[in-house]
Amino acid sequence: MFDIKDLYQEIIVDHNRNPRNFRVIADADKTMEGFNPLCGDRLKLYLKIDGGNISDIAFDGTGCAISVASASLMTDAMKGKSIDEAETLFNNFHCLITTENEIDTDHLGKLAVLAGVKNFPARVKCASLCWHTLHSALIGDKNPVTTE
């Protein structure tokens, strides 16, 4: 029997083993660091902004499988998005992993695989670290992000 949970697990394992966009962008327009002391996840995001769109996005750092898979999936989803679209996706993803209600996940694509973390409160910070880091980068925060 095909179990959708197996697929979700596979995507997370795959993105942890072979993270997409795991590199440094030397001439990035924006960089932002994020740290989740609860788990020890640490990442740095690199963004190229071109005409109000995210033309390139990458990350590096170290962290647990969920934090790395989340950053890998997020950077894949963000490439080519406008800053407004990125903020909308940030809000939708935040709902996905924190609310009890079932939300429409069609537009979230592969990001929906992370919905399961809402059953594991400690993991929510792992999955959301890269998103909060992106949000801070886009609004121009000066301070590194911490989940505490």
Question: Which is nearer to Zn ion, 28 or 45 (by Cβ)?
Answer: 45
Tell me, by CB under 5 A, how many residues bind Zn ion.
5
Q: Which of 39, 49, 95, 115 binds Zn ion (CB under 5 A)?
A: 39
Query: Could you say whether residue 115 binds Zn ion (CB under 5 A)?
Result: no
Query: Could you say whether residue 21 binds Zn ion (CB under 5 A)?
Result: no
Query: Could you say whether residue 49 binds Zn ion (CB under 5 A)?
Result: no
Query: Could you say whether residue 136 binds Zn ion (CB under 5 A)?
Result: no
Question: Which is nearer to Zn ion, 117 or 138 (by Cβ)?
Answer: 117
For the record, the structure tokens of 29 come out as: 């327009």
What's the one-letter identity of residue 8?
Answer: Y
Q: Which of 12, 28, 41, 73 binds Zn ion (CB under 5 A)?
A: 41
**Paired strand residues for 129:** none
Query: Is the distance from CB of 77 to CB of 109 less than 8 angstroms?
Result: yes
Query: Could you say whether residue 65 binds Zn ion (CB under 5 A)?
Result: no
Q: Which of 64, 83, 95, 115 binds Zn ion (CB under 5 A)?
A: 64
What is the rounded radius of gyration, in angstroms, for the C-alpha atoms of the chain? 14
Question: Which is nearer to Zn ion, 104 or 120 (by Cβ)?
Answer: 120
Query: Could you say whether residue 145 binds Zn ion (CB under 5 A)?
Result: no
Task: In angstroms, give the least distance from the CB of 42 to Zn ion.
Answer: 10
The residues binding Zn ion (CB under 5 A) are: 39, 41, 64, 67, 126
